[in-house]
């Protein structure tokens, strides 16, 4: 054992990723401290202070590491239990090492000794360990991601339902528990969103003293992100990010805070308003009150209001004209321009004609779509089992007869999935409710009438007009 008078002062640096890992047999704080203490005793180092961080190894800014860097002049060396305690990514590991070396400290790792930046062998050994740490982290990240996907997807064959990867914590939820106050305001937001825009609703909420979870004022973009989230209608999507970005890798049911009908109605209304972007000018809005409600009968895209050069009056025209976004790169052939007064009159006539014709009114109402059965998760699970069975058979784990029996059983399960009864279609439109809604709003300005009745007007190339109704939910 080295003479205590010749011991050099040193600091110990420990790191774990989470509190749960602090007692781990492999990476725990006590294990790290024990390895460092033994190393220091063998190499004439005296541990004067221990610095410990609980933070992911993918981040190089750490509270205790910063404290160690500030106190570096007190020590001659710093000791870590292994290279991966500096970090779990190559970039982070080298960044932390450089910061320590720049203070003048010697850096020691119990698994490789002193890390000497001037020695090629030492840096080669350090580089190899850094690569292993990075590779191990990436492998672990992928395993955790697969485990979360499996947790969310559940197992349809065994009857195990899916569940969220983490406790729900969006507005209306707090760590998996419903927040009744926020949930009530959430329903208010969805209900009002059918009749007012995002900016107006944000102003209303601020005037009422309603704030976001963080205590901030509402903004239009925050409200749009909120109502777009399918979690509120009872569908948790793993992989989804704000504004619908990201790739949804699995989904499961969760308790809904608003009805699916209200969620769909609000998002349909939001789509219509997005299509009407650019009509905030009062004069333009008055000229084109059906903006966002008109669809080209040929390509299905929005028909917009426009003014042609040299002409006094405006027209509605297909938005795809001149674009190659239609039918594999061909421009939409619907080139006609329609005077607004002509289309407005046709829409009014169509609505007047169904006011006393029940059959025509029901035909005009857009029928709810029958939800298509989603066989994907069940078929994917069966495919996994088939691959596993095939591999086991190739490894002589089953006799030909056992293999044939299991294969036949999987085939029967696949047929059962594919032949499952179709979901019950949603109920059709309520005739009395449609009649009452039409009678209430038929004399309203056309833009308000279109919003209240959820109009979609499809204009064909021959000038034929079809009006569809999809009224928003009213609570």
Catalytic residue numbers? 17
If you search the block for the tokens 């928003």, which residue do you land on? 472
Q: Which residues fall within 8 angstroms of residue 244, CB to CB, at 6 or more apart?
A: 228
406, 398 in Cβ contact below 8 A?
A: yes
Distances (CA, A) of 242 to 186, 226, 236, 247: 17, 9, 13, 11
Q: Would you state the structure tokens that stand for residue 417, as one six-digit string?
A: 């999935």
| CB count in 10 Å sphere of residue 1 | 7
If you search the block for the tokens 């504004």, which residue do you land on? 243
How far apart (Å, rounded) are the C-alpha atoms in residues 223 and 6?
Answer: 66
254, 168 in Cβ contact below 8 A?
A: yes
Going by C-alpha positions, the residue among 426, 428, 454 that lies closest to residue 441 is: 454
Q: Would you state the structure tokens that stand for residue 41, as one six-digit string?
A: 């005793």
Q: Give Cα 257 to chain centroid, integer Å.
A: 18
**CA torsion through residues 220, 222, 226, 228, sign:** positive
Helix (H, G, I), strand (E, B) or coil at 468: strand
Sequential DSSP letters for 384-433: HHHHHHHHHHHTT-S-HHHHHHHHHHHHHHHHHHHTPPPPPPPP---HHH
């Amino acid at each position: 054992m080295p003479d205590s008078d010749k011991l050099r002062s040193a600091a110990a640096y420990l790191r774990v990723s989470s509190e749960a890992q602090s007692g781990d047999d492999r990476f725990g704080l006590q294990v790290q401290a024990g390895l460092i203490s033994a190393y220091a005793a063998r190499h004439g180092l005296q541990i004067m202070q221990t610095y410990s961080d609980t933070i992911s190894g993918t981040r190089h800014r750490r509270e205790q590491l910063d404290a160690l860097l500030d106190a570096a002049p007190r020590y001659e060396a710093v000791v870590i239990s292994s290279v991966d305690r500096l970090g779990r990514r190559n970039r982070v590991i080298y960044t932390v090492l450089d910061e320590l070396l720049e203070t003048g400290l010697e850096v020691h790792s119990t698994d490789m000794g002193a890390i000497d930046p001037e020695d090629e062998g030492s840096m080669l050994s350090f580089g190899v360990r850094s690569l292993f740490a990075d590779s191990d982290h990436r492998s672990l990240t992928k395993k955790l991601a697969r485990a979360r996907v499996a947790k969310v997807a559940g197992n349809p064959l065994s009857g195990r339902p899916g569940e969220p990867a983490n406790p729900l914590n969006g507005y209306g939820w707090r760590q998996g528990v419903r927040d009744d106050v926020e949930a009530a305001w959430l329903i208010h937001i969805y209900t009002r969103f059918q009749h007012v825009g995002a900016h107006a609703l944000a102003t209303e909420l601020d005037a009422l003293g309603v704030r976001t979870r963080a205590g901030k004022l509402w903004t239009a973009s925050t409200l749009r992100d909120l109502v777009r989230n399918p979690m509120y209608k009872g569908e948790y999507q793993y992989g989804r990010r704000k504004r619908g970005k990201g790739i949804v890798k699995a989904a499961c049911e969760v308790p809904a805070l608003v009805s699916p009908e209200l969620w769909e109605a609000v998002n349909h209304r939001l789509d219509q308003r997005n299509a009407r972007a650019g009509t905030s000018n009062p004069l333009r809005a008055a000229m084109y009150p059906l903006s966002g409600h008109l669809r080209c009968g040929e390509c299905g895209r929005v028909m917009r209001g426009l003014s042609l050069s040299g002409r006094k009056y405006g027209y509605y025209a297909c938005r795809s004209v001149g674009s190659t976004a239609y039918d594999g790169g061909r421009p939409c052939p619907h080139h006609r321009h329609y005077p607004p007064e002509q289309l407005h009159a046709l829409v009014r006539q169509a609505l007047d004609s169904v006011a006393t014709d029940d059959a025509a009114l029901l035909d005009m109402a857009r029928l709810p779509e029958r939800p298509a059965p989603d066989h994907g998760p069940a078929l994917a699970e069966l495919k996994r089992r088939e691959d596993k069975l095939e591999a086991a058979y190739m490894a002589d784990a089953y006799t030909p007869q056992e293999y044939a029996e299991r294969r036949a059983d999987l085939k029967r399960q696949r047929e059962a999935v594919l032949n499952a009864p179709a979901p019950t279609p949603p109920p059709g439109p309520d005739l009395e409710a449609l009649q009452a809604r039409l009678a209430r709003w038929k004399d309203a300005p056309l833009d308000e009438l279109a919003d209240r009745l959820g109009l979609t007007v499809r204009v064909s190339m021959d000038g034929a007009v079809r009006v569809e109704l999809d009224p928003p939910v009213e609570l």
